Structure 1
Amino acid sequence: MDYLKRIELYLEHLESPSPEDLRNALVTLDTKLSDLTPFLHTDHKKPYYRKLLFQNTEVELLLMNWSQIACAPHDHGQSCGWIQVISGTTINTIYQSRDRYLPEAYFSQKMQQGSVFFAPKTGIHHMKAKDEELVTLHLYSPPIKNMKVYDLNACAACVVTEQCGAWWPEEQREKVMEIKLKKQRMQPTKEPK
């Protein structure tokens, strides 16, 4: 069966899916790198090339082919979802934050090919490729809107449009709102080896 038809078969009937429903759907797709090869492109100027594979009012499935640039710390608005590492290894860093304060890295974890990990509502994280072959699949519900991207050096956050990824927007039309943040003091993080 064609991969896009398989996606539609597994995802089109999800209604108000729970986090467990999302994880089961993503794992049941049984995606291989060969399924995604026709959709892979590289963007060396951004953290990743993003391809929307499926979207309805309940869920969206995104493919990301990573460069060697780390994405910015970000949340997923009011969406939650699961990320599956299809190829390569990523370092996923989780942040702690309080309203109007700059998030600070709490811990990092290495996620390898086959790993599936959760992205909770309002949870802040960033990812980067540990090697050159990082390809990930992301299933969110509802489709992401009002994602917040953080610039740690400028002590600022920006709510971005759906056209912008997890990087500081380059064009005004990608910005919904900018927010100035205060610094906070938390425990430093250690990156895994």
Structure 2
Amino acid sequence: MSTLDTQTTRPRVPLEGRGEERFSLSSLVETLAGLDRRPELPEVNGWMLRVSVGQDELRPHVGFKEGTYARHRVFLCDHAELLVLCWRPGQRTPIHDHAGSFGAVRVLSGFMWETLFEMGEASGLRYKSSREWTPGHVTGADIPDIHQLGNPDISGQDLITLHLYAPPLTSLNVYKVGRKESVNTLWMSSWNPTI
């Protein structure tokens, strides 16, 4: 999800006092409900940098599952989808792309590890870099970023993240290191349905 970063080792963090209007989760939902087109990646990133999610707004969307992370839908329309993901230590995504959607992730609490991959002409999929994201950090994925997100076992704490996809994420193409093409497609409605 590095395509939004001007320096791949530095996360995007909202800065107070720079003339950027902060807004609530409910205000973000209102903005999304008013969309008449798919938003562009800079818009999505800007919203995620400025949203301030209070505990009262977040509480209805928090819940964990055993075995895999939980996906809680906050909002869905034809142009965008807003989710809260809840991760126990050790839970992670497969290596994947977003099958035609782009998006941004904001860490609300906990620590998120992100591993980025690239496709080599001869070697197939290979490791590119890894980063740790902390509360307040935002990272984004353009098309066709390939990555893996997760809550490391060693974190010792739960992870909660806010995800905004445009258009709504319906499937993931799954990859394996060393392969030159995806090995599977996971349909979100059956693989890890939203709650």
TM-score, L = length of structure 2: 0.73
Structure with larger RCO (C-alpha < 8 A, sep 6+): 2
2:168 alignment partner, one of 143, 163, 167? 143
RMSD: 2.7
Q: Which stretch shifts more, 83-92 or 15-24? A: 15-24
Task: Render the CA deviation track for 1:133-170: whole Å, top value 9, x for unaligned.
Answer: 2100010111113421234599962112131249xxxx
- Alpha-carbon deviation of 1:42? 1.1
1:13 alignment partner, one of 34, 39, 45? 34
**1:31 to 2:53 alignment:** yes
**1:86 to 2:108 alignment:** yes
Q: Is the 8 A contact 1:7 1:54 kept in 2?
A: no
Percent identical pairs in the alignment equals 23
- Alpha-carbon deviation of 1:77? 0.7
List gaps (5 residues or longer) in structure 2: 1-23
Q: Is the 8 A contact 2:25 2:53 kept in 1?
A: no
| Alpha-carbon distance in structure 2 between the residues aligned to 1:43 and 1:52 | 15
Q: Is the 8 A contact 2:75 2:82 kept in 1?
A: yes
Q: Is the 8 A contact 1:51 1:64 kept in 2?
A: yes
Structure 2 matches for 1:59-70, cutoff 5 A? 59-67=80-88, 68-70=90-92
Match of 1:162 in 2: 188
- Alpha-carbon deviation of 1:35? 2.3
Q: Is the 8 A contact 2:124 2:179 kept in 1?
A: no
Q: Is the 8 A contact 1:57 1:143 kept in 2?
A: yes
User: Aligned pair in 2 of structure 1 residues 146, 71: CA closer, same or farther (>3 Å)?
Assistant: closer
Match of 1:103 in 2: 125
How many aligned residue pairs are there?
163
